[in-house]
A and B are shown apart, each in its own frame.
Chain A
Amino acid sequence: AQTVTQSQPEMSVQEAETVTLSCTYDTSENNYYLFWYKQPPSRQMILVIRQEAYKQQNATENRFSVNFQKAAKSFSLKISDSQLGDTAMYFCAFMNSNFGNEKLTFGTGTRLTIIP
């Protein structure tokens, strides 16, 4: 079974600074997908970024980028020029690409606070 570990329960950073959230995972599969979801107090789980394991290039979405290290099974999220609206819980998630096993396995989350 896959497991996802987020070792930072809480983080805080000043507005406009850069912050990196850590995530490691364990799997015996070679093909899979990794995600970062953001969950603000409204509870809506919002997709931040997605990475396909077969791609060596790290995914980027505007101020959000990942550092995907497949051999180390590490998938960190970097938020540049952080904004107050980035305050939320951030969940790292893994999905097996095998047909019939497409469930997301989530980590326990990191609570990120952006300080004005």
Chain B
Amino acid sequence: EAGVVQSPRYKIIEKKQPVAFWCNPISGHNTLYWYLQNLGQGPELLIRYENEEAVDDSQLPKDRFSAERLKGVDSTLKIQPAELGDSAVYLCASSKRTGSDTQYFGPGTRLTVL
């Protein structure tokens, strides 16, 4: 069974440029999460989807960040415009459903903003 797939693995951009990250969850997993991991820290939740619906986006900086999961499978996280402080690892995770199910993580995208 394939795991959570993310692309790109690395991205380097200049500040004020837009950037997008893509995530394909494990087949059959209805719940999808985007986490932000700063250097030397644990991941922090940005947004959680149940199928197509964003059910928890309270930690998503909505002035510059947006996300979508149009068909309830793949998801895209976008930053526009990027700032220096956005340099971090962006992790995607999925689980079968909410509640007790374990979350499985992708390899992450390391973003560097110059």
Which residues of A are in contact with B by a Cβ distance under 8 Å? Answer: 4, 33, 35, 37, 42-47, 50, 52, 91, 93, 97, 99-100, 102-104, 106-109
A24 to chain B, nearest CB (A): 14
- Find out whether the CB atom of B43 lies under 8 angstroms from the CB atom of A103: no
- Find out whether the CB atom of A106 lies under 8 angstroms from the CB atom of B102: no
- Find out whether the CB atom of A33 lies under 8 angstroms from the CB atom of B100: yes
List the count of A-B residue pairs having beta carbons below 8 Å apart.
Answer: 59
- Find out whether the CB atom of B99 lies under 8 angstroms from the CB atom of A99: yes
Question: What are the residues of chain B within 8 A of A102 when measuring CB–CB?
Answer: 31, 48, 95, 98-99
- Find out whether the CB atom of A47 lies under 8 angstroms from the CB atom of B55: no
Task: Report which of B42, B102, B107 forms a contact with A91, defined as CB distance below 8 A.
Answer: B42
- Find out whether the CB atom of B42 lies under 8 angstroms from the CB atom of A42: no
Assess A43 versus B110: contact at CB under 8 Å? Given A104-B43, A104-B45: yes
Count of chain B residues near A, Cβ 8 A: 27
- Find out whether the CB atom of A43 lies under 8 angstroms from the CB atom of B42: no
- Find out whether the CB atom of B42 lies under 8 angstroms from the CB atom of A106: yes
A45 to chain B, nearest CB (A): 4
Q: Across the two chains, which residue of chain A brings its CB closest to B58? A: A103
Which residues of B are in contact with A by a Cβ distance under 8 Å? Answer: 31, 33, 35, 40-45, 48, 55-56, 89, 91, 93, 95, 98-100, 102-108, 110
- Which of B31, B43, B44, B55 has the largest number of chain A CB atoms within 10 A? B43
Q: Could you pull out 18 A-B pairs where Cβ atoms are within 8 angstroms?
A: A4-B42, A37-B105, A43-B108, A44-B105, A45-B91, A47-B102, A47-B104, A97-B100, A99-B99, A100-B55, A102-B95, A104-B35, A104-B43, A104-B45, A106-B43, A107-B42, A108-B40, A109-B41
Question: What are the residues of chain B within 8 A of A106 when measuring CB–CB?
Answer: 41-44
| Cα of A46 to Cα of B110 in the assembled complex, Å | 17
| Cα of A44 to Cα of B5 in the assembled complex, Å | 11
Question: What are the residues of chain A within 8 A of B40 when measuring CB–CB?
Answer: 108-109
